[in-house]
Amino acid sequence: MKTESASTLPHTSSDHYRWIQLVLGIACMVAVANIQYSWTLFVPEIQKTYGWSRASIQTAFTIFVVTQTWGTPLVGYLLDRYGPRPVILLGGFAAALAWTVNSYASTLSGFYIGAVIGGVAASCVNACAVNNALKWFPDRRGLAVGLTAAGYGSGTIFTIVPIARMIESSGISSTFFLFGLIQGAIILAAGVFLRAPQPSETRFSSQVVQSRRDYTLGEAMRTPVLWLLMVMFTCTITGGLMAVAQLSLIAQDLGVKDMQVNAYFFTMAALPFALMLDRFMNGISRPLFGWISDNIGREKTMFIAFSIEGLGILALATFGGNPWMFVILTGLVFLAWGEVYSLFGAITGDTFGTKHVGKIYGILFLSKGFAALFVPIGNLIMEATGTWATVLYIVAAMDLVAAFSALFILKPMLERHHAKGDSTRVATSQAGLQMNPRTDPI
- Summarised one tens digit per residue, pLDDT across range 15-25 is 788 899 999 99
The pLDDT value given to residue 251? 84
Angle in degrees, 0-180, between the axes of helices 13-32 and 141-154, rounded to the nearest 10: 30
Residue % of the chain over a pLDDT of 70:
89
What is the DSSP track for 61-98? HHHHHHHHHHTHHHHHHHHHHH-HHHHHHHHHHHHHHH
Angle (nearest 5°) at CA 37 between 33 and 40: 150
CA distances from 392 to 45, 153, 242, 275 (A): 25, 21, 9, 18
Instruction: Classify the phi-psi angles of 368: left when phi > 0, otherwise alpha if psi is within -120 to 50, otherwise beta.
Output: alpha
The sign of the CA dihedral 13, 15, 16, 17 is: positive
The pLDDT value given to residue 12? 45
The pLDDT value given to residue 7? 40
Average pLDDT, integer, range 70-78: 89
* 283 half-sphere exposure, CB direction, 13 A CA radius: 18
pLDDT band for 404, please (50, 70, 90 cuts): very high
Three-state DSSP class for residue 268: strand
Of the two residues 438 and 121, the one the predictor is more confident about is 121
* Closest listed residue to residue 77, CA positions, set 41, 124, 144, 44: 124
Say if CB 325 and CB 318 are below 8 A apart: no
Angle in degrees, 0-180, between the axes of helices 224-254 and 323-337, rounded to the nearest 10: 160
The residues near 344 (Cβ < 8 Å, ≥ 6 apart) are 229, 232, 233, 364
What is the DSSP track for 147-185? HHHHHHHHTTTTTHHHHHHHHHHH-HHHHHHHHHHHHHH
Three-state DSSP class for residue 135: helix
Q: Which amino acid is at 297?
A: G
- Summarised one tens digit per residue, pLDDT across range 334-378 is 888 878 888 998 999 899 988 888 899 889 988 887 887 777 788
- Summarised one tens digit per residue, pLDDT across range 110-132 is 999 999 999 999 999 999 999 99
Angle in degrees, 0-180, between the axes of helices 39-50 and 224-254, rounded to the nearest 10: 50
The pLDDT value given to residue 114? 96
CA distances from 221 to 68, 301, 353, 360, 365 (A): 21, 24, 14, 8, 13
Q: What predicted TM-score, i.e. pTM, was given to this entire model?
A: 0.75
DSSP state of 5: P
pLDDT band for 221, please (50, 70, 90 cuts): very high
The pLDDT value given to residue 166? 93
Taking all residues of the chain, what is their mean pLDDT, rounded to a whole number? 84
- Summarised one tens digit per residue, pLDDT across range 189-207 is 999 999 888 776 766 655 6
The pLDDT value given to residue 208? 67
The sign of the CA dihedral 239, 173, 56, 113 is: negative
Q: Pick the range with the lowest mean pLDDT from 214-218, 226-230, 286-290, 367-371.
A: 367-371
Q: Say how many Å lie between the first and final Cα of the chain, rounded.
A: 38
CA distances from 278 to 146, 244, 321 (A): 16, 9, 17
Average pLDDT, integer, range 365-394: 81
* Closest listed residue to residue 149, CA positions, set 412, 400, 377, 340: 340
The pLDDT value given to residue 125? 95
Q: How many C-beta atoms surround the C-beta of residue 252 within 10 A?
A: 15
The pLDDT value given to residue 422? 60
Residue 276 has pLDDT above 90, yes or no: no
The pLDDT value given to residue 249? 77
Average pLDDT, integer, range 44-60: 88
